[in-house]
Copies of this chain bind each other. A is one copy, B any other.
Amino acid sequence: MPSPLPSRTRGPKPTKVDPDHLLDAAQAVFAEEGLRAASLRAIARRAGCDPALIYYHFASKEALFLALLDRRFPAVLQDMARLAEPTDLRPTPLRLWDVLLIYHRHLKDDPGIRALIRGEIVRGAEGLGHLIEDQIRPMIGSIQRIFEQGIARGEVRPGVQPLMATFFLAKMQLEILDVLPAVLPLLTELPPEGAVLTGMRAWLEILWRGVALDPAAPLPTLPSPLV
């Protein structure tokens, strides 16, 4: 026995750890710990592999995070773009409600990405330039267009600035998804379960009355999200 101990743990596993599985783990850890506090070791532990393996699939921690975003954003962007098509002639409040539903559908379970859109995108993370250009700006453009079409169709007050309204609509929805379920039970006796949906309806009602040309007109019934 010349060699001290032939270790048997190295080499490929019976079932490969594909990059998508790593992204799942990363998403979960980012969600729990926050962006900065999430460590590669924690992510690797979650994925059941060694931290070094992450570097086999991704160039760095930042690249891992960017890959996470690149996986999620296109679907949101696409949904939003479809919603903004001028051939959609439904009442504007219904379309705005759909904006909220799209966020709800795609971002409900991904606080990491919400945190990014929320603010992390502003300061730092140099590699984000392409994301802002390719995904976020068009997404905002889509919502903005819904407001513009609403003005043209005589449903929205002409005094409303579409970009501001977009900012308000989207930002608040992120807050509703993020903190309302945590904050509402702190302030009332309400259970957190219905908090998000309650908040969304209350928000759209106030926002719509705020921007509508005829605020006295009744809101159409807002369908619940499909679960």
Contact = CB atoms under 8 A, between A and B. Distances in A.
Nearest to A37: B36
How many copies of this protein are present in the complex? 2
A168 B206 contact: yes
B215 A206 contact: no
A179 interface: yes
> Which secondary structure dominates chain A's binding surface?
helix
A163 B122 CA distance: 30
A65 to B, nearest CB: 15
A203 B168 contact: yes
A187 to B, nearest CB: 7
A160 interface: yes
Interface of A: 34, 36-37, 118-119, 122-123, 132, 137, 140, 159-161, 163-165, 167-168, 171-172, 175, 178-180, 182-183, 186-188, 198-199, 202-203, 205-211, 215-216
